[in-house]
Amino acid sequence: MFFRILKKDLKRKKTMNMILLLFIILAAMFLSSSVDNLIAVNGAIDHFIEISRTPDFFSIALTDGKTDKIAEFLEGNKAVSEYEVINTFNLINEDITITACREEPGRTRYERTNILCIEAVPGNFMKVFRMDDGSLSLESGEIAFPKVEADRNHLHEGDKVSIRVGDVEREFVIAAIVKDAVFGSTMMGFKRLLISGEDFAEFARQEGLVHTMMYNVDYADREKFQEQWKEQNFVVLSSIETDSTIRMCYIMDMLIAVILIVVSVCLILLAFLVLRFTIVFTLQEDYREIGIMKALGIKDRAIKGLYLIKYLAISVVGAVIGFGLGFPFGRVILDRAIVNIVVDGAKQNFAVNLICAAAVVFVVLLFCCFSADRLKKISVMEAIRSGSRGERYRAKGHLKLRRRPLMKPYFYLAVNDILSSLKRFGILFVTFCLGTMMILLPQSAASTLKGDGIIASFSLSPSDVYLDTGKGETYTVDMERMLRDMEEIEQRLKENGITAETGVDMGYMLSCYTDDPKDSVTYYVLQAMGSWDRHYTLLSGREPELSNEVMITELTAEELEVGIGDTIHFATAESAEEFIITGTYQSMMNMGQGYRVSKSAVLDPAYASGMLCMQVEVADMESEEACAKLKELFPEYRIMNAEGFLDNMIGGIVRQIDTLTAFIVGIVLVINSLITILMMKTIMTKERGDIALLKSIGFCDRSLMAWQIARILLVLTAAILTGTILSNVLAPYIIGPIFAMMGATSIELVTRTPASCILYPLLLSAATGASAFLCAGGVKTVDLKEVNTME
Amino acid sequence: MESLRVKDLCKTYIVNKRQNNVLKNISMEIKEGEMTAVMGPSGSGKSTLLYTVSGMDDITAGKVDFFGRDIGSLNAKQMSELRLDEMGFIFQQMYMLKNLSIYDNIILPAYQSGRGKGRERRKEINDRARELMHKLGISEIAEHDMNEVSGGQLQRACICRSLINNPKMIFADEPTGALNQQNSREVMKELNRINREGTTVMLVTHDMKVAAKSDRVLYIEDGTIKGEYVLGKYTGEDAMREREKKISNWLMEMGF
């Protein structure tokens, strides 16, 4: 009888067993590959940092190429174990011309990232590697591009570019696309082009150029070095402790692996639901056999073992297949993640995959044991009576047909069935609800990043036009030129009948402290410049108006332990100015750290270190129209609307999240379809008698199909609504902390978008409805005579 | 006029790759308002005959006219409409949807027929359901669940359901087969009453007492009709003993 039941079960419940198997395969595949990937990517980053000789500390400063106070400070410093100064030159768009591009033959204009510089192939620190992980060496006339820059401009090896530094212009052949540990990630806004030492020397020979010096430092004593560094108050563009910053920059590369882990955990949970459903269904079907076995004196444990063998077999087969598939699948994900990383340390780990697959089997079996425990509760008589204990059942009907005159009978039956079997349809509900949330939460993150409100989170005031002159670095050392250019733009617009105001938010790298200069922190201090009188979004207090007033981000306020009304000091090498805090704000710039002073505040222009872009506010004109007009008048500049500006700033991240959302949508659609098929097939097996009865009283196939489909769609609708509400409620707790990590501590998440309200519900309904429709076709196979199979 | 006219009806099943002729060239007629019982040994094809002539099962060959309409020529939708509006079915087991109350089970076909629209029509349906339940003596179980009532009550509820759309003909497959004597009597009393009111009834039975209450008895054996016995209209319990005796003798002659 043991094997008869097992054989019958495997034969009769083919669909159910197949779907269970599929869930276990997917769970094992996702879990093993994602955990392995997470470990591999982490290992690869460690390895990359090590072999590229990433320094402990890194800083950039502008010099005239003659005097270098920082190099003097580093020389002979006992807190420094090793250091290197690398000479580079900043490049603006006009400095680079594409002279041969095979992918886009007519392309000459170069689109760069925020900051781009050119340097000789590094020797000691911050080495770069070819895409095949080989080391890089370049001949004269050759140039290497980081992957992000090459992709952005559709450049490949063999293409040519012409580069001008000062008065010297040279043409280079792209000899390599490279991986750069420190600057390679998409989140790093600084990129470097590499040429041979000989070619670089030719550029560097010129007099009167502004040099961008990079200082790579390995600590001998971190604390002491940091203390001395702060004391010096050097004028720098940026300084970071590289290890933690680089890891943070590669977080997006690990995000896919993390989300896959979440998806696999959800899949395991869903596999549990499917398991519970199949176990309960199997036990109900086999009541009589179980009763007979019990009556014959076979122990519960032996009967339970019979069912566990089946699930053990399914779990092991599923885990083995999932384990096998995990390698190629994991490789695809890993290859995407390590595109910017040297792969040597990113090998897939057989043991990790195996442990994860085994964990899936173990957890599934544990749950089976727990679920199959209900066997103990079945008495012999109850089992022989097919589950009936002999007492009357309580009434199940919840809806009265005559009180629902507007409901079509098939719809009434569907609603009544759901209300009568809440537990059974609960599985569907939970699955659909989880699926909806899995889609809407990342979608909400992407929508928030694409939303209009995000501009304010970059410490900017929204404007009609965002303009990149490509001279940002020039402006930081020559603000007069910037103001002249702004005036010129306004004047030209005026001549063309357009009244406009321009503005720039200039960033200064200043160290700041409350009482003791030794406890200073160095972040960007922003100051609005230009004719445009704009306002910024605050979290509390008011904007700074006087020359000694400042507003401060919440994260910096927390770090300095200050609040509105408190005083802070901005220090330069010569002096320290006192500022009163008037308000707090949030910013996704510089991981949420920073300050903003009023227009009237006087800051040392030597400490100016960068700006995002120039903004133009046009009177009596919509943004699109204004952009079109400015493009016409200033073809040499890059003109963007808010959307274009955001795409330039965080497009990479948004696209990554969009890809992830699309991936999750695919997974959820498959899960929904599988669960729908599973539920409908099993329920229909039990309902063949009911269907035959309804046919005998005159229900046509179409009504019966509508009844079957309506149940699924009703549950789906309820689940989508609940999932949407839960996503909206939970988003601040799930996505909020991610934004808070980036500095947006009180961001208003965008949860209602056409995609979340229309597209995804429609997609889910279409896929689930299609599966339901296909399964509902099964009613046609029910013969009227099967009415005699009713219990 | 004939309610049902069957000509050269054949039904074949393929079992284990072997052809099994269950009905062999059966021809018969049932007049409108007639109550016809079909008897025969187990496996003779009684139920198959009932299911094929009522359109519940496909026919292999032959022709079945239901009130002048060839049911073989109807598509699935037309057949559903026919079953809904003009036919009523009663089964041996009292099949009902478990999630619905007795009352909702009864009125479901009426709502499905599309005639449940409009306040007037809904009132009409509910009045008819109440009237039927009252006539069959089950008014008190209207809101009960099917597991809360006796087999007899349930079978009477099934009869109510089969009558809710005023069908022209009732097909009953051993309607008393699962009932005790008392309940059987009550159910047959109702079927006779329905028949007297003009509804044609075709029933399959093993029970001579049930057959004795019919106007005509067909005896089927090995897939063919071996004979028929016309009893005439059932007038009441007084003539039952004599009708049963006649049937008994005839069945003995037929070798039952």
Domains of chain B listed by start with CATH number: 2-95+169-254 (3.40.50.300)
Of A397, A695, A788, nearest to B93 by CB-CB distance is: A788
Q: Provide the greatest CA pair distance for chain A.
A: 103
Confidence of residue A503 (pLDDT cuts 50, 70, 90): very high
pLDDT digits (tens, 9 = 90+) for A685-725: 888 889 999 998 889 999 999 999 999 999 999 999 999 99
- pTM (2 d.p.): 0.76
Query: Quick check: A342 pLDDT over 70?
Result: no
State the CB neighbour count (10 A cutoff) for residue B54: 25
Which of A503, A465, A453, A461 is closest to A618 using CA atoms?
A465
pLDDT score, position A393: 47
Per-residue pLDDT, averaged over B115-143, amounts to: 84
Query: Residue A53 carries which DSSP code?
Result: T
Residue contact B84–A699, C-beta within 8 A:
yes
| Mean pLDDT confidence for A461-469 | 88
pLDDT score of A637: 86
Question: How far apart are alpha carbons A10 and A316 in whole angstroms?
Answer: 15
Q: To which H or E segment does residue B187 belong?
A: helix B181-196
- The answer to whether the CB of A499 falls within 8 A of the CB of A629 is no
Give the tokens for residue A70: 């920082």
Q: Name the nearest CA neighbour of B210 among B38, B5, B26.
A: B38
Please, are residues A24 and A201 in contact by the beta-carbon 8 Å criterion? no
- State the CB neighbour count (10 A cutoff) for residue A521: 13
Chain B residue nearest residue A416, CA to CA? B99
Mean pLDDT of chain A: 83
**pLDDT class for A392, splitting at 50, 70, 90?**
very low
Using a CB–CB cut-off of 8 Å, the residues of B that contact A are 51, 56-57, 76-77, 80-85, 87, 89, 91-93, 95-101, 103-104, 107-109, 111-113, 116, 119, 122, 125-126, 144-145, 147-148, 161-162, 165
A569 and A603 in contact (C-beta within 8 Å)?
Answer: no
Q: Which residues contact A109 (CB under 8 A, 6 or more apart)?
A: A93, A97, A98
Nearest residue, CB atoms, B56 vs list A396, A413, A785: A785
How far apart, in whole angstroms, are the C-alpha atoms of residue A476 and residue A479? 6
Distance CA A655, CA A658 (A): 5
Mean pLDDT across the stretch A744-770? 87
Could you tell me which of B121, B18, B6 has the C-alpha nearest to residue B53?
Answer: B6
Give the pLDDT mean for A338-361: 74
The structure tokens listed for A568 are 């802070």
pLDDT digits (tens, 9 = 90+) for A241-282: 877 777 666 665 666 666 667 776 777 777 777 777 777 777
Question: In whole angstroms, how far apart are CA B32 and each of A270, A303, B29, B162, B225?
Answer: 59, 58, 10, 18, 20
* Distance, CA of B106 to CA of B99 (rounded, Å): 13
Give the pLDDT mean for A572-582: 87
Are A467 and A630 in contact by the 8 Å Cβ rule? The answer is yes
CA angle A383, A384, A389 (to 5 degrees): 60
How far, in Å, are A644, B56, B231, B251 from residue B239 at the CA level?
A: 98, 35, 11, 18
Highest mean pLDDT among A80-94, A488-502, B114-128: A488-502
- Average pLDDT of the segment spanning B221-235: 89
Beta carbons of A156 and A174 less than 8 angstroms apart: yes
Assess A784–B contact: CB distance below 8 Å, yes or no. yes
Secondary structure class of A606 (helix, strand, coil): helix
Residue A186 binned pLDDT confidence (cut-offs 50, 70, 90): low
A390 interfacial to chain B (CB closer than 8 Å): no
User: Which residue does chain A place closest to B164, by CA atoms?
Assistant: A697
Nearest CB to A698: which of B81, B103, B107? B81
The CA–CA distances, whole Å, from A93 to A108, A196, A405, A470 equal: 11, 21, 72, 5
In the numeric block, the tokens 């099994």 are attached to B20
DSSP state of A570: E
A784 chain-B contacts, CB cut-off 8 A = 51, 56-57
User: Which of the residue ranges A400-414, A513-527, A532-546 has the most confident prediction, judged by mean pLDDT?
Assistant: A532-546
Four-CA torsion A425, A426, A427, A430, nearest 10 degrees:
130
B234/A349: higher pLDDT: B234
Check pLDDT > 60 for residue A391: no
ipTM: 0.86
